A and B are shown apart, each in its own frame.
Chain A
Amino acid sequence: KNQVEQSPQSLIILEGKNCTLQCNYTVSPFSNLRWYKQDTGRGPVSLTIMTFSENTKSNGRYTATLDADTKQSSLHITASQLSDSASYICVVSAQNAGNMLTFGGGTRLMVKP
């Protein structure tokens, strides 16, 4: 069964600090992995996509990594801001056409001043 697990479930950090969120998956055969950000009261929005051949990708202060061998991804947030407070969701898709996306449970990040 395809599964995506994220850790930690929740995290509180001070403004300006860095943090790293983890995502482990068992989805196979792997196609791509996306990190989504979900602000309170909103639907999730895609931050970045990682394909099999990509090890790292940055989007501003967000840097995603992918290790396809160990089936792990991380999302690193640098110099956190209050607006980074949100849920971050890891979503993995398989290569087979029509296969559904598998969502992780998300990490709830709170950035405090």
Chain B
Amino acid sequence: GAGVSQSPSNKVTEKGKDVELRCDPISGHTALYWYRQSLGQGLEFLIYFQGNSAPDKSGLPSDRFSAERTGGSVSTLTIQRTQQEDSAVYLCASSLGGTTEAFFGQGTRLTVV
């Protein structure tokens, strides 16, 4: 596609359920980032994939969060046993490399009730 695509755009889930968020980066982009943005807050780094290197997971808030990037393209962010504090907009971005412009998706708005 022409841009970064995220799905679903909105997700409402019950506390304790698992959710999967998907990100389709721009074709050919080797770097992929997941961020989250809680209401009224700034961007919070979650995880960074760069090519075939081991991902930088230093931003994942707990072991309930995990992410994969298959074949160097599509990425899924999984949140297990969701909590209300997980409610946020989850943004995905991709870039050609670590120094180039990042292009963001529209985000997935997650609401845990």
Contact = CB atoms under 8 A, between A and B. Distances in A.
A100 B4 CA distance: 18
Question: Which 6 residue pairs are nearest across A and B when measured between Cβ atoms?
Answer: A43-B104, A105-B42, A106-B42, A93-B99, A99-B98, A100-B48
A33 B91 CA distance: 20
A100 B43 contact: no
- Give the interface size bracket for A toward B: 20 to 34
A87 B102 contact: no
Given A32-B99, A43-B107, A97-B99, 11 more contacts: A31-B99, A43-B91, A43-B104, A44-B91, A91-B102, A93-B99, A98-B51, A101-B33, A104-B42, A106-B43, A108-B40
A89 interface: yes
A70 B28 CA distance: 35
19 contacts: A32-B99, A34-B101, A43-B104, A44-B91, A46-B102, A89-B42, A91-B102, A93-B98, A93-B100, A97-B97, A100-B31, A100-B56, A101-B31, A101-B95, A101-B102, A103-B35, A103-B45, A104-B42, A105-B43
Given A100-B31, A104-B42, A49 B101 contact: yes
A44 B95 CA distance: 13
Interface string A40-53: 01111110010000
The secondary-structure label for the interface of chain B is loop
Contact of A101 (B98, B105, B106, B107): B98
